[in-house]
C-alpha cells in the first residue's frame, strides 16, 4: 500500500506549468495561504514540497489560556514558517499538537514544534500512534530511494505495475526528480518525536473559553482518523477523511468511510477543514463523497458475493463498465484536466481498496 501511496502523490501533482491558474481548486498547491476561520481559529494551507509531494493543512486554535495546533505538515522548514506565523497571532505557546492520522505529510513537523515549545503535548489516536511509531521511521529513511525508482520508471517508460507512463506522469516524475534532493536534505532534519497522549474514542480539552473535542468517529482513510471539533463554533478539522477538490482513496477502509462521514455530517458544521484543500462551508462535498463511495461499495459487494475467483484487476475493469465514471469525474473535477486525471487514479484506488477490504481483510 505504501508504494501506491507514495506513487500516488507523484501522480497527483503533474502539469506544474498549468498550476498558476488552478491553485484555488486544484489537487496541487503552489502557494502558502493563511485563512482566518473565526476569531482565534486559523488554517494554513501549504505549498507542495519542491518534489511536488503535498503537505497537509495545519489548523491553529487559540484559547484564552492555551493554543492547540492540528497537524504539523511535511517539511520541517514549513513547520518553522508556521510557528513564526503562530507567534504573530498569539504570544501564548502551543500547548497541544494533534495528529489527525499517521501519513507523514501531516506529522513530520512534530519535532519542529517540540523543539520550539518544550512543554508541548502531542496527541493522537492509539492506532495513529502505533503507525507513526512503527511505520514512519522506515518511510522517512526510505524516501531517498524514490530517486532510483523514479529514474527506473523513466528509463523503462513503465510504472511499478508495468503500465506505460502517460506524458503527464512522465513530466511529473521529471519535476519530482529535480526537487528531490532538497526534500531529502530536509528529511534529514526530521526529529522523530514520541506521541505523549493517545486516545481511542474521544478527548475533551478546554483551551480557556474554547472547548475542543478530539474524536474518533470511525475508520475511513486510516484506522485512526481523528476529528478536531469546536462544538460552539461548529468548526471541525477532519484530516484526510476529506481531501478537496478530489478525494484520496488509496488504501484505507472505504467500506466504513460513508458511515464515518455521515457522523461528520451530523455535526452540522459551518466550516469543514479538509486534510488538503479549501475550507468547505456546507455538506455538499461530503455528501458527494458518501454517494460515490456508497455506489462503489455496493458494486464491490455485489460482484464479490458468491464469486471467490474474481480478481482485483477484473473488478477494476467491470467497475468501469457498470459505474458512470465520466459523470463522477465531472462532478469532482469539472473540466479541469489535472484534477480529472487525478480522479481517474483515485477512482481506481477506491475500487482496489474496497475490493481488498471486502475480500481480503
Ligand atoms: Zn495528506
Interval between CA 277 and ligand 1 midpoint (Å): 10
pLDDT at position 80 is: 98
Interval between CA 132 and ligand 1 midpoint (Å): 14
Range 55-70 average pLDDT = 98
Interval between CA 106 and ligand 1 midpoint (Å): 6
Residues 293-315 pLDDT 10s: 999 999 999 999 989 899 998 99
Interval between CA 56 and ligand 1 midpoint (Å): 5
Interval between CA 67 and ligand 1 midpoint (Å): 23
CA atoms within 13 A on the CB side of 284: 7
Range 279-283 average pLDDT = 98
Answer yes or no: is pLDDT of 13 > 70.
no
* Better-predicted residue by pLDDT, 228 or 11: 228
pLDDT at position 25 is: 65
Interval between CA 275 and ligand 1 midpoint (Å): 6
* Better-predicted residue by pLDDT, 151 or 160: 151
**Mean pLDDT over all residues of the chain?**
91
- Sequence-separated (6 or more) residues with CB below 8 Å from residue 245: 25, 26, 27, 277, 278, 332, 333, 339
Answer yes or no: is pLDDT of 45 > 80.
yes
Percent of the chain with pLDDT over 90: 84
pLDDT-derived band at 163, boundaries 50, 70, 90: confident
Backbone angles phi, psi at 167, to 5 degrees: -60, -40
Answer yes or no: is pLDDT of 177 > 60.
yes
Interval between CA 73 and ligand 1 midpoint (Å): 9
Interval between CA 105 and ligand 1 midpoint (Å): 5
Q: Pick the closest to residue 53 from 239, 179, 238, 192 (CA basis).
A: 179
Answer yes or no: is pLDDT of 122 > 90.
yes
* Better-predicted residue by pLDDT, 18 or 144: 144
Interval between CA 121 and ligand 1 midpoint (Å): 22
Given CATH 3.60.15.10, say whether it is the number of domain 2-142+190-285: yes
Give me the torsion for CA of 72, 75, 77, 78, rounded to 10°. -50
- pTM for the model stands at 0.92
pLDDT-derived band at 19, boundaries 50, 70, 90: very low
Range 89-112 average pLDDT = 98
Percent of the chain with pLDDT over 70: 93
- Sequence-separated (6 or more) residues with CB below 8 Å from residue 322: 299
Interval between CA 49 and ligand 1 midpoint (Å): 13
Residues 76-87 pLDDT 10s: 999 999 999 999
Interval between CA 305 and ligand 1 midpoint (Å): 32
Range 108-122 average pLDDT = 98
Backbone angles phi, psi at 311, to 5 degrees: -95, 155
pLDDT at position 35 is: 98
pLDDT-derived band at 22, boundaries 50, 70, 90: very low
* Segment 263-268 long-range contacts (CB within 8 Å, at least 24 positions apart): 263/217, 263/218, 264/217, 264/227, 264/236, 264/238, 265/290, 267/229, 267/234, 267/236, 268/234
- Domain ranges (residues) in the chain: 2-142+190-285
pLDDT-derived band at 5, boundaries 50, 70, 90: very low
Range 155-166 average pLDDT = 88
Amino acid at each position: 500500500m505504501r508504494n501506491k501511496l507514495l506513487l500516488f502523490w507523484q501522480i497527483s501533482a503533474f502539469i506544474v506549468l498549468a498550476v498558476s491558474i488552478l491553485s484555488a481548486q486544484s489537487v496541487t498547491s503552489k502557494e502558502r495561504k493563511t485563512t482566518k476561520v473565526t476569531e482565534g481559529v486559523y488554517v494554513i494551507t501549504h505549498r507542495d514540497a519542491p518534489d511536488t509531494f503535498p503537505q497537509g493543512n495545519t489548523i491553529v486554535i487559540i484559547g484564552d489560556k492555551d493554543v492547540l495546533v492540528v497537524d504539523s505538515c511535511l517539511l520541517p522548514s514549513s513547520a518553522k514558517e508556521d510557528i513564526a506565523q503562530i507567534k504573530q497571532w498569539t504570544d501564548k505557546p502551543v500547548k497541544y499538537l494533534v495528529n489527525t492520522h499517521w501519513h507523514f505529510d501531516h506529522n513530520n513537523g512534530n519535532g519542529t514544534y517540540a523543539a520550539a515549545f518544550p512543554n508541548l503535548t502531542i496527541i493522537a489516536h492509539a492506532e495513529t500512534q502505533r503507525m507513526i511509531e512503527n511505520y514512519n521511521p522506515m518511510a522517512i529513511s526510505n524516501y531517498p530511494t524514490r530517486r532510483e525508482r523514479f529514474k527506473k520508471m523513466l528509463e523503462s517508460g513503465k510504472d511499478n505495475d508495468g503500465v506505460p507512463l502517460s506524458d503527464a506522469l512522465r513530466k511529473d516524475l521529471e519535476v519530482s526528480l529535480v526537487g528531490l534532493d532538497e526534500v531529502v536534505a530536509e528529511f534529514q532534519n526530521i526529529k522523530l518525536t514520541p506521541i505523549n497522549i493517545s486516545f481511542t474514542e474521544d478527548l475533551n480539552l478546554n483551551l480557556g473559553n474554547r472547548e475542543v473535542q478530539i474524536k474518533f468517529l470511525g475508520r475511513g482513510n486510516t484506522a485512526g482518523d481523528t476529528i478536531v471539533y469546536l462544538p460552539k463554533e461548529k468548526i471541525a478539522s477532519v484530516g484526510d477523511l476529506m481531501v478537496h477538490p478530489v478525494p484520496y482513496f488509496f488504501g484505507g477502509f472505504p467500506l466504513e468511510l460513508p458511515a464515518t462521514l455521515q457522523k461528520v455530517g451530523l455535526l452540522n458544521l459551518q466550516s469543514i477543514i479538509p486534510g488538503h484543500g479549501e475550507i468547505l462551508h456546507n455538506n455538499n462535498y461530503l455528501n458527494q463523497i458518501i454517494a460515490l463511495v456508497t455506489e462503489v461499495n455496493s458494486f464491490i459487494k455485489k460482484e464479490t458475493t458468491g464469486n471467490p475467483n474474481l480478481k482485483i484487476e477484473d473488478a477494476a475493469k467491470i467497475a468501469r463498465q457498470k459505474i458512470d465514471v465520466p459523470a463522477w469525474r465531472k462532478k469532482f473535477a469539472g473540466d479541469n484536466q489535472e484534477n480529472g486525471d487525478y480522479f481517474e487514479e483515485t477512482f481506481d484506488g477506491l475500487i482496489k481498496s474496497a475490493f481488498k477490504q471486502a475480500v481480503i481483510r
